[in-house]
């Protein structure tokens, strides 16, 4: 399947310059590449939350589940449990995943369920027009915080690492090729894969220059080292004026959730009848 066939006829409504376009094209190319690597496109399921990030659901010719705000991960978990042969990708927002639905992120990491979650972290509530999110920089002047927000940002990489995720990466929409690579690796990783994607919001939080001045690549060789990963996660707290590492932060093999909950062998009508009769007999 050619990448261009994956773009739907729906009218695109992202703002000009939005980082979501980069995400869309990276996804298109990765899904197309996976197709030639033996992972057919019909096996890919895209689950989105609610926000600007989520509109990718409409813009792609992909199987999909346009869920509720904050609720990509439990839907993806259910799909994966139902059919472990599917490749399930969540594209979530930072408000979506780090505020409304943060418990699901922690639990997906804890369970090591074999799904991929990419959070398009534009550091702002885009669709609701510019309020602060859990990862907005300290002092963020949003529409609900005209005098500057007084909460410190949350560090999702640190949180997800300590929750048990087995693939953790940070991408940036200003580094399209790398983002493609991360998405590809995340989808191929067996276990819970997480990408915090620094996505430029052209309208409410344009940090392009800020990111460009600070980003650097983590050393690809040491991604298996938990202690090193911990240091990397703590290297930037989403507000301090330090360098910002990109790439695979941590990767580690571990049994997945669905392996512990294999799909039941479907009982025949007769087999089920027997099991029920046996139970009824125990109640006489």
Partner 1 sequence: MDIHEVSVLIGGRAGDGVASSGQVVAQILAHMGYRVHMYFDYPSLIKGGHNFAIIRGAERPVGAVRDKVDFILALNQETIELHRGKLGRGGVIICNGDIASHPGAVQVPIGSILKNEQAPTVMGNSAIIGAFLKAAGIDWNIAEEVFWNALMKETVQNLRVAWQAYDAADVRMAVKEITDHRHPVMTGNEAIGIGLLEGGVTMYFAYPMSPTSNLMHFFAAKADEFQIRVVQPESETAGILMALGCSYAGVRSAIGTSGGGFCLMTEALGLSGIAELPLVIVLGQRAGPSTGLATYTAQSDLLFALNAGHGDFPRFIVAPGDTTEARTWSRLATAFAWKYQVPSIILPDKIVCEGLYSIDPDFSIDCHPEPIMADPGVRPYMRYQLTESGISPLRFPPSVGDWIKVNSHVHDTDGITTEEPEVTRTMADKRNNKIAGLREELEGLHPVEVSGNTNSDGALLTWGSNKGACDEVGKLLDLRVIRPVVLCPFPERSFANAMTGVRRFYSVESNETGQLARLVSQFGYRASGLVLKYDGRPFTIEELTARVREAIS
Of 258, 266, 267, 255, the residue nearest 83 (C-alpha): 258
By beta-carbon proximity to ligand TPP, the closer residue of 125 and 192 is: 125
Shortest reach from residue 266's CB to partner 1, in Å: 7
Which residue in 128, 119, 101, 212 sits closest to 168, CA to CA? 119
Q: Does 207 bind partner 1 (CB under 8 A)?
A: no
Query: How far is residue 84's CA from residue 115's CA, in Å, rounded to a whole number?
Result: 10
User: Which is nearest to 58 in space by CA: 126, 10, 119, 16?
Assistant: 10
According to CB under 6 A, which one of 56, 94, 156, 174 is a site residue for ligand TPP? 94
CA distance 97 to 118: 10
Residues 124 and 131: beta-carbon distance below 8 Å: yes
C-beta of 188 vs 202, nearer to ligand TPP: 202
Q: Which does 96 bind (CB under 5 to 8 A by kind): partner 1, ligand TPP, Mg ion, none?
A: ligand TPP
Bridge-based pairing state of the strands 63-66 and 87-93 = unpaired
Report how far residue 14's alpha carbon sits from residue 55's, in angstroms, rounded to the nearest whole number: 8
Asked if residue 68 binds partner 1 (CB under 8 A), the reply is yes
Nearest-angstrom CA–CA distance, 267 and 87: 26
Per-residue binding string, ligand TPP, 5-44, x by CB under 6 A, is: ----------------------------------------
255 binds partner 1 (CB under 8 A): no
CA atoms within 13 A on the CB side of 33: 13
Q: For residue 196, state whether it binds ligand TPP (rule: CB under 6 A).
A: no
Partner from Mg ion, partner 1, ligand TPP, none binding residue 116, C-beta < 5-8 Å depending on class = none
Site string for ligand TPP, 37-76 (x = CB under 6 A): -------------xxxx---------------x-------
Nearer to partner 1, 140 or 194 (CB): 194
Q: Is 283 in the site for partner 1 (CB under 8 A)?
A: yes
Q: Report which DSSP code applies to 260.
A: H
Tokens 């949003």 -> residue: 142
Residue 98 structure tokens:
């780090």
- Site for ligand TPP, rule CB under 6 A: 50-53, 69, 93-96, 120, 122, 124-128, 133
Write out the residues near partner 1 by the rule CB under 8 A.
Answer: 8, 10, 40, 42-43, 45, 47, 50, 55, 57-58, 61-68, 71, 73-83, 85-86, 103-104, 106-107, 261, 263-267, 272, 275-276, 278-284
């Amino acid at each position: 399947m050619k990448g261009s066939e994956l773009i739907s006829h729906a009218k695109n409504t992202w703002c000009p310059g939005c980082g979501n376009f980069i995400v869309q094209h990276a996804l298109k190319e990765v899904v197309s590449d996976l197709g030639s690597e033996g992972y057919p496109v019909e096996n890919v399921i895209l689950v989105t939350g609610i926000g600007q990030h989520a509109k990718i659901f409409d813009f792609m010719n992909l199987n999909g589940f346009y869920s509720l705000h904050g609720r990509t991960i439990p839907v993806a978990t259910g799909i994966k449990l139902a059919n472990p042969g599917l490749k399930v990708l969540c594209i979530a927002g930072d408000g979506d995943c780090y505020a409304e639905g943060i418990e699901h992120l922690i639990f997906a990491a804890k369970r090591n369920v074999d799904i991929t979650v990419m959070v398009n972290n534009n550091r702002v509530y885009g669709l609701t027009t510019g309020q602060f999110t859990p990862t907005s920089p300290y002092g963020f002047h949003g529409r609900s915080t005209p005098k500057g927000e007084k909460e410190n940002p949350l560090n999702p990489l640190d949180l997800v690492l300590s929750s048990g995720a087995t693939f953790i990466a940070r991408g940036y929409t200003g580094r399209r090729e790398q983002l493609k690579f991360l998405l590809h690796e995340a989808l191929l990783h067996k276990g819970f894969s997480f990408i915090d994607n620094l996505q430029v919001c052209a309208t409410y939080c344009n940090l392009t220059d800020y990111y460009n001045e600070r980003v650097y690549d983590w050393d690809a060789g040491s991604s298996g080292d938990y202690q090193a990963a911990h240091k990397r996660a703590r290297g930037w707290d989403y507000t301090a004026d330090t360098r910002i590492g990109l790439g695979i932060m941590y990767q580690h093999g571990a049994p997945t959730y669905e392996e512990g909950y294999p799909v039941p062998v479907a009982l025949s009508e007769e087999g089920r009848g027997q099991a029920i009769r046996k139970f009824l007999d125990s109640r006489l």
